[in-house]
Amino acid sequence: MTEWRWSDGDPRARGHLWVRLGITLGLVGLLILAYGNLLRLDHPEGDFVNHREFGRRFLTHEFLYSNGLNIPYLPFWGMVHAPLAGLSCRTGFMVHLFLGGIALLILLLLCWKMSQKNLFLKTWQHLWVILATLLFLSRPIVRDFQDGGANLIVVALAWGAIASWCYRRPRWCAFLLGLAVALKSTSVLFLFYFVWKRQWRVALLTIAWVLALTVSPVLWQGGSSYSNHVLFWWRHVRAGVQSSDPNRGVLGQEEVRNLALRPTLGRLLGLPPTQASIVIWGICLVLLVGCAWVFRRTSDRGSSLVCLHECAAVLLLMLLLSPITWNPHCVAAVPAIYLLLGSTLTRERSTRRILLPLVLVVVSLRSPLNPTLFGEALARLSYQVGLTTWSLLLLLGMTLQRVAMRSVQTRESLQNPLVSTHARLVGRNAA
C-alpha cells in the first residue's frame, strides 16, 4: 500500500513545518534562559576547588583527607585531578568544564544512537527530545557545570560502557566501566547488573580494571602511605554506611539537601534511630530485589529498548541507594528522561499513561519550589519531605514499567515473528 504524503506545496505541509520550527525555537529560547548562568562562570567555585586541592596534595605527598577533604573518594580521584594542580585555578577549571561539556554531548549522542533503531523517531523528533532533556534537567546540569562537570564525565563513562556492551565490545565496556567505578564507587551497581545477566567475561574484565586503576596510586604514594589512605577511607565510609542512625552518614550529620533515599526516609519515618535504620535497610533491599526481578529475563543486548531502560534504571538506583546524592548527581537521570520523552512521541497508547507522572518528575527535577515564588517555609518543606527524592523514585518506577512492558512484547514477538515484523513496519510508518 502506497503511503500518502502531502506535497511540498500543500499548505498543511507548510503549516506543520512552521509548527516544528516554532517548537524547536521555543525550546532553544528556554534553554538559553535556563543556561544563562553558565555565561557568568568567571571563576572556579564549589567542588572543583576541593578536587584540585585533592590533586595538589596527591602530588606533594600530603595526607589527602586532612580537614575532612573529599572523604568519600579514594586516592585514585586525587591522581586523576593531579594534572589540574599544575595549571592555574581558572585554566584548570576551563579544561575541566570543556571535558564536562564533551561528556554531555557524548551522553546525548549515545542516547540518540542507541535508541534510534527502536523508537522509530525522525531526526527532528530526536532533536526535540535532546532539547527537552536539556531543559528539564537544566538545574542539575548547570549545577554540575559550576563544579566543573565531574558527574557528567562519570555518567558518560558508565553509559559509554553500556554502549560498548550493546555493540559487543566487551573490552571497551570493561575499561570504561572500570574507570567509572574507580572514580566513583557507586557505579559498581553496573558490575552487579552484568553478573545478574550472566555476562561473566565483562564482569571479570571489569573487576580486573577496577583493581588495577584503584591500586595504581600506590606507584606514586608508596605502599605504606597508600594503605593508610585506604584504611582511613574505609573506616569513615563503613562507619557512615553502617551507622544505626539514618540521619548520620559518611560526612557526619546528614544535610537536608542530601537526596539519597536513606536520609530522606530517616527524616520522615519519625522512629527511633535503630528501628528507622532497620526499616530503611528493608526498604532498600525490597527495592533491589524488585529491580532484580524485573531484570530477570535475559534480553538481546543489541541496543534493545529493554536493555537501555534497564541500564537507565540502574543509574537511578545509584542515585537513590548512594550514601550521598547532591543535586548535581541527578545528571545520571539523563538517559531515563531521554528514553521516556522519546517514548511519548511514538504512537503507542501505553505511552500516554506516563505523560502526567513524567511532567511531575521533570518539574521537580527542573525547579523544586522556588522560595521567591512559594515562600521560604514552603520551599524548605519541599526539601524536608524529599520532593526530588520521591520524583526520582517515581521516575524509576516508570522506567521499570517500560522494562516490564517491553519484556512482554519481546517474548510475544519471539513466539510470533510475523506480529513482530508487522509491528516494526507500523512503527516506521508512524514515525
Q: Spell out the domain ranges in the chain.
A: 45-430
Could you give the 3-state DSSP secondary structure of residue 141?
Answer: helix
Query: Looking at the predicted structure, is the pLDDT value of residue 427 above 70?
Result: no
What span, in angstroms and rounded, lies between the C-alpha atoms of 174 and 105?
22
CB 339 within 8 A of CB 305: yes
Q: Structure pTM?
A: 0.86
Give CA torsion, residues 404, 408, 410, 414, to 10 deg. 160
The three grid cell numbers given for residue 428, joined into one nine-digit string: 516506521
Angstrom distances, CA of residue 90 to CA of 60, 86, 100, 217, 393:
21, 12, 15, 26, 37
Q: pLDDT (tens digit, 9 = 90+) per residue, 309-365?
A: 999 999 999 999 999 999 899 999 999 999 988 888 776 655 556 666 666 666 666
The reported pLDDT for the residue numbered 421 is 46
Q: pLDDT (tens digit, 9 = 90+) per residue, 364-404?
A: 665 555 555 555 666 677 777 778 888 889 889 889 988 88
Q: pLDDT (tens digit, 9 = 90+) per residue, 39-64?
A: 666 667 778 999 999 999 999 999 99
The three grid cell numbers given for residue 241, joined into one nine-digit string: 554506611
CA gyration radius, the chain = 23
Sign, CA torsion 167/173/176/177: positive
Q: Which residue in this structure is represented by grid cell 564507587?
A: 185
- Paired with 19 in beta bridges are none
Q: How far is CA 344 from the centre of its chain?
A: 20
What span, in angstroms and rounded, lies between the C-alpha atoms of 72 and 291?
26
The reported pLDDT for the residue numbered 273 is 85
Which one has a higher pLDDT value, 217 or 44? 217
Enumerate residues 6+ apart whose C-beta is below 8 A from 402: 305, 309, 339, 340, 343, 354
What span, in angstroms and rounded, lies between the C-alpha atoms of 317 and 306?
16
Could you give the 3-state DSSP secondary structure of residue 252?
Answer: strand
